[in-house]
């Protein structure tokens, strides 16, 4: 089986977060979802686990970061087209997220990020095919 | 959406972090590695971690950087091929200066353990019996 990554992120309101990521077009894997966690499918082998703060806290022996105040991680996803970058950020903002920076267009590369409802940072990048 | 992800994490000492993850068996992509960042290959073509100096990480965010030894925003969970791989990765992490926050969890069909890297970022390792995955 190929390598899989799941990144667990704490969220304050699981239902609102599900609605947020659904409006961005992501699907969910019900097999790994329950009332404490929802598995968001990013790509084959790559998923996010949105976890209630209580459940997340039970997994660690340190405080849970309030991501609107400080960040430990930036999740960077590659997009297939230039338009997908701006399109996803637009949907995120419409769904209650925030775009901390304007779109950067370097010609061969386009990038912009958004913050989700809890302040977790997502960065979207399109790069021109190299060949 | 493409099938590639880059998980960006701030580190205090890039050379020490590169040595730590090298000791765990990871390689780096020189094309995306310089004095401010190192691109660690977790699965070629799909999963990468970008280790960024705190100064460089700071240029991407308009909020303070979490000190991951003190608080946690993310748990990075990687699948393993076997129970032995889980154990051996944790053993290598501890030998290289990391720590394990808890005892392994054995559910029979699923076996998991975790380590903290030099900066306190938490990595979970999970093996699942093939029919469960």
Q: Per CATH, which fold does B1-62 belong to?
A: 2,3-Dihydroxybiphenyl 1,2-Dioxygenase; domain 1 (3.10.180)
Whether the CB-CB separation of A114 and A93 falls below 8 Å is answered with yes
Whether residues B74 and A73 touch (CB distance < 8 A) is answered with yes
* Among B104, B78, B79, B106, residue whose Cα is nearest residue B91: B104
**CA end-to-end distance (rounded Å), chain B:** 23
Q: A85-97 in b/e burial notation, b at 16+ Cβ within 10 A?
A: bbebbeebeebeb
CATH superfamily of B71-133: 2,3-Dihydroxybiphenyl 1,2-Dioxygenase, domain 1 (3.10.180.10)
- What is the residue-averaged pLDDT of chain B? 95
What is the residue extent of each domain of chain A?
Answer: 5-127
Whether residues B8 and A49 touch (CB distance < 8 A) is answered with no
Say what the pLDDT of residue B132 is: 58
Find where tokens 């068996």 sit.
B25
User: What are A50-106's pLDDT values in tens digits?
Assistant: 999 999 999 999 999 999 999 999 999 999 999 999 999 999 999 999 999 999 999
Instruction: Compute the average pLDDT of residues A4-32.
Output: 96
User: What are B63-86's pLDDT values in tens digits?
Assistant: 999 999 999 999 999 999 999 999
Whether residues A76 and B72 touch (CB distance < 8 A) is answered with no
Count of alpha carbons within 13 angstroms of residue B15, beta-carbon side: 1
Say what the pLDDT of residue A1 is: 56
Number of CB pairs, chain A paired with chain B, less than 8 A apart: 152
Instruction: Select the CATH number that applies to the domain covering A5-127 from these four: 3.40.50.170, 1.10.260.40, 3.10.180.10, 3.30.70.20.
Output: 3.10.180.10
Position B114 pLDDT exceeds 90? yes
**Share above pLDDT 70 across residues of chain A, in percent, rounded to a whole number:** 98
């Amino acid at each position: 089986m190929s390598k899989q990554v799941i990144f667990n992120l704490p969220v304050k309101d699981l239902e609102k977060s599900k609605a947020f990521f659904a409006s961005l077009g992501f699907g969910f894997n019900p097999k790994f979802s329950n009332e404490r966690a929802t598995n968001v499918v990013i790509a084959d082998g790559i998923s996010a686990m949105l976890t209630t703060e209580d459940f997340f806290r039970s997994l660690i022996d340190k405080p849970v970061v309030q991501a609107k105040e400080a960040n430990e991680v930036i999740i960077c996803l590659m997009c297939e087209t230039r338009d997908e970058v701006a399109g996803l950020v637009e949907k995120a903002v419409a769904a209650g997220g925030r775009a901390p920076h304007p779109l950067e267009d370097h010609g061969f590369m386009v990038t912009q990020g958004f913050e989700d409802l809890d302040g977790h940072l997502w960065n979207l990048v399109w790069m021109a095919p190299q060949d | 959406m493409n099938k590639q992800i880059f998980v960006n994490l701030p580190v205090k000492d890039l050379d020490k972090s590169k040595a730590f993850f090298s000791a765990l068996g990871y390689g780096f992509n020189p094309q995306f590695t310089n004095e401010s960042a190192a691109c660690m290959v977790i699965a070629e073509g799909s999963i990468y971690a970008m280790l960024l100096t705190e100064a460089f990480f700071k240029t991407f965010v308009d909020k303070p950087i979490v000190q991951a030894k003190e608080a946690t925003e993310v748990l990075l969970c990687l699948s393993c091929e076997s129970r032995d791989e889980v154990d051996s990765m944790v053993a290598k992490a501890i030998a290289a200066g990391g720590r394990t926050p808890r005892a392994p969890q054995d559910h029979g069909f699923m076996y998991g353990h975790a380590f903290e890297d030099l900066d306190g970022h938490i990595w979970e390792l999970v093996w699942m019996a093939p029919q469960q995955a």
